[in-house]
Amino acid sequence: MCGIIGYTGPRKTAKILLEGLRRLEYRGYDSAGIAVGRENAEPRLEIIKSVGKIAELAKKMPEDIDGSWGIGHTRWATHGGVTEANAHPHTDMSGKIVVVHNGIIENHKTLRTMLGKKGVVFKSETDTEVIPHLIASYYEGDLLKAVLAALQHLEGTYGIACIHANEPGRIVGARNGSPLIVGVGNDEMFLASDITAMVAYTNRVIYLNDGEVVDITRDSYTITDRHSNMLDKQVDEITWELGAIEKSGFMHYMEKEIFEQPDSIARAMSGRIDEENATAKLGGLNLSRRQLADVHRVRIIAAGTSWHAGMTGSYLLEQAARIPAQAELASELRYRNPVVENDSLWFVVSQSGETADSLYAMREVQRKGATVLGICNVVGSTIARESDGGVYVHSGPEIAVASTKAFTSQLTAFYLFTLLMARMRDMSREEGQKFTRSLLAVPEMVRDALAQRDHIQAIAKKYCRAKDFLYLGRGILYPIALEGALKLKEISYIHAEGYSAGEMKHGPIALISPEVPSVFLVSDDYLHEKTISNIREIKARGGPIIAVGVEGDTEAMALADDFIAVPKADPRFYPFSMVVPLQLFAYFCALELGRDVDQPRNLAKSVTVE
């Protein structure tokens, strides 16, 4: 959460900072600000802040603002309300030291008290403001030394960028639990919390690890640990281009990303299917066939949408590979003193690879001896680096706050892993070939679902004024019901709950009325009749029914008030084709209601705080 951008070089700094913040806005959009340094006879810093989105900050920017170095920040509020005083950047009392910060300083109250006794007067309610004052207390002409001294007192998570008016062109950054990336340009340098902020200018980046500090000028950088020990870091090259983070003619990023799914799913499986042997190839697992054969249970750590992908994966692993599997909420697991069995394999799933709850839970089970594999989208992310192996899903940049294509790419990773494990166990070659053909057909299945765009939009228009929705599925479609309800909540602000359809009669049926639509996911497998029975229970009580079902299911079509058909397939693969109509339904409901689809209220893309 929150976004940082820093720049030093010959270009117009204010323009680069503002452009970077626009690209980072999905990380938080409660307030924003920049600090720009001017190099002249008396160097000074000009600070501009505003409440609201980056567009509000742009309105306040003077036409003549210029400078050769600076830092910027877009905020998702944690400590202190959404006010201009609480917006970043924050300064020391002299106004010469300026800091932007992502994360939470857990001992900020203690530090406030200590600094207050030394005469420091605070201007904000934030935890961040202790940082520039602390740096000022150690400053003796060298910003790096002052930052290193201040870091010894900070407890919690942080990604920090700091500048000083008296040290033109210099930016000092530090990372502990919140992402920070150095961008290496030609006679210019960047510092950001996300590659998207600087990809227009450089494709050469350095990923900082926790406990690392970077000191950059326009033509150089040095990286140390918190004890001033020099570090030699690898420079990586970004393979995707600026066009990947543009809207490309779509109205919203979310719409674009929904429609990118046939391609993103294909990328996730590209080169990973061995058709001849009807199995999968996942070299990044870093596990031998013998080690995989010794796995007798799988545990999956995730949060939000990624948890729903993990739940789907757990159903699939048990059904197809006959391996006991369970998806765990990261925020609960970390504090539960989890039991780590010797024969278990753990996965941690995160689009960004920076999700704080998932990262901390991963570290906890690793301390207990677990082997943990990551399923991530962002190359070089913390989870990708700290896990013992894993799978990049290659869905490409996902800008909309509500995840869509990353979800189906995560599903793809679980389907590949299931195929690999199943073929090592009881799945025959013939069954493996059938599974493989079904997996390869998924992109086309998704295209067919997307072709119902106009039909789904009409249904959304019909129901978008409802105040409550129920989403119901059984078996492997239960997690998809949860995901559909989450999408509707996230971007339309309509209250929606996902349930196992079999649990309806155990309480939620009390909510049924003509004003509460129920969205049913209807497979054509062994649970079909049970699901139809659940639909009848809702119909008997006057509840409107929207059904997402299989083409030719005349029984479901007759019962439903509105029916969305998906192509007939192996029932294990319906999560792909049935989640897409739910994504579109949420999108069109939000559109009809005039919501901010890409940046819904109170949310941020990468949840890097607890």
Question: Which amino acids are annotated catalytic?
Answer: 2, 605
Instruction: Name 349's Cβ contacts closer than 8 Å, sequence gap at least 6.
Output: 300, 301, 302, 306, 307, 309, 310, 358, 374, 375, 376, 410
In degrees, rounded to 5, the angle at the alpha carbon of residue 314 between the alpha carbons of residues 529 and 255 is: 80
Using CA atoms, how far apart are residues 19 and 30, in angstroms rounded to an integer? Answer: 17
Q: Which one, of 32, 34, 97, lies nearest residue 66 by Cα?
A: 34
Ramachandran category for residue 357: left, alpha or beta (phi over 0 → left; psi -120 to 50 → alpha): alpha
Cis peptide before 89 (omega within 30 of 0): yes
User: Looking at residue 279, what DSSP letter applies?
Assistant: E
Calculate the CA dihedral of residues 583, 584, 587, 593 and round it to 10 degrees: -130
**Measured distance CA(72)–CA(16) in Å, rounded:** 10
Q: Could you identify the residue written with the tokens 């155990």? A: 506
Say which residue the tokens 């994504």 belong to: 583
Report DSSP letters for 458-520, one per residue. HHHHHHTT-SEEEEEE-GGGHHHHHHHHHHHHHHH--EEEEEEGGGGGGTGGGG-STTS-EEE
Neighbouring CB atoms inside 10 A of 336's CB total: 11
Integer CA distances (angstroms), 294 to 275, 287, 326, in order: 25, 11, 17
Looking at the DSSP bridge assignments, the partners of residue 468 are 495
Tokens 């409802």 identify what position? 466
Element containing residue 345 per DSSP (H, E): strand 344-350
Total H helices, total E strands in the chain: 20, 27
Amino acid identity of residue 221, one-letter, is: Y
Distance CA 249, CA 278 (A): 39
